[in-house]
Amino acid sequence: MVSDYKTLRTRRDGGVSHVTLDSPPVNVLGVQMFADLHDYLTKVREDETLKVIIFDSAVPDFFIAHVDMSLIDQPQAFDALLALAPEGLNIFQALGEMLRHQPQVTIVKLEGQARGGGAEFVAAADMCFAAIGKAGLSQCEALMGIVPGGGGTQYLAQKMTRNRALEVVLGADVIDAETAAAWGWINRALPPEALTEHVERIAKNIANLADGVISAAKSALPAADLASGMLTEHAAWAGLFSRPAAAELIRGGLRLGAQTPGGEAQLETIMRSLKPTVR
């Protein structure tokens, strides 16, 4: 596996590219991973010989833990990337929308946890197949005093009923693979030993389709226009992020072990133990 990226490893097998997220210990979505993903998706966008992109993780228990919480004390960290965001989207929404509109078929092979921005990345992909007993999804932002701000509310509204989306956003619990499949968040939940074979088979079958079939299918099944909803989501997220409670909760979570393997294993418990002095 070779790569020019610091947080990704890539390899090509005919019309299928494998992109492995590799930023231990828990694959947080920080500035470097964001930049690497944006650069990779941009570079392959015009490659008509590439048909399918499979995303997986080199960190067994985590796909993308969530956006890097330490950025709460680095407010200028994403400034260099702001120019990459189209008008009407914040930088986190821009990544999801880039993935959602990628001409290749994008597939997530989910074997660990995907919270916050990680769950949004999963939802933005064309397909996701997850390992039963190992994979989990969570929009954990409410425990940090905010709401999803990277497209999560809009993607959930497209994939499941409103009452279930509200349970995901406000309940802020980890949803197991089988429940996520039943709710429409992912395609299928599979036994761990069957996951790789299934993903590889469907990817190769799609890559072997006649030229033009993928683009025709994506045109006939277009990604929904979420522009107005993204603006509403950003306003809701930004309004809460600017409040003192959000910073207090996020810093408190980091102090108690968030973004360490042990802390992430019990992130919801850690975050629920925190009581902001300003609500």
133, two tokens: 């007993």
Instruction: Decide if 92 contacts 150 (C-beta within 8 A).
Output: yes
Examine the pLDDT at 1 and tell me if it is beyond 60: no
Examine the pLDDT at 84 and tell me if it is beyond 50: yes
Distance (Å, whole) CA 102 – CA 265: 32
Please report the beta strands in the chain, taking only residues with DSSP state E, as ranges in sequence order: 8-13, 16-21, 52-57, 62-64, 105-110, 113-115, 127-131, 136-138, 175-176, 188-190
Kindly report the CATH class assigned to 8-208+223-272.
alpha beta
Examine the pLDDT at 250 and tell me if it is beyond 60: yes
pLDDT tens for residues 173-205? 999 999 999 999 999 999 999 999 999 999 999
Examine the pLDDT at 279 and tell me if it is beyond 70: no
* Domains of the chain by residue range: 8-208+223-272
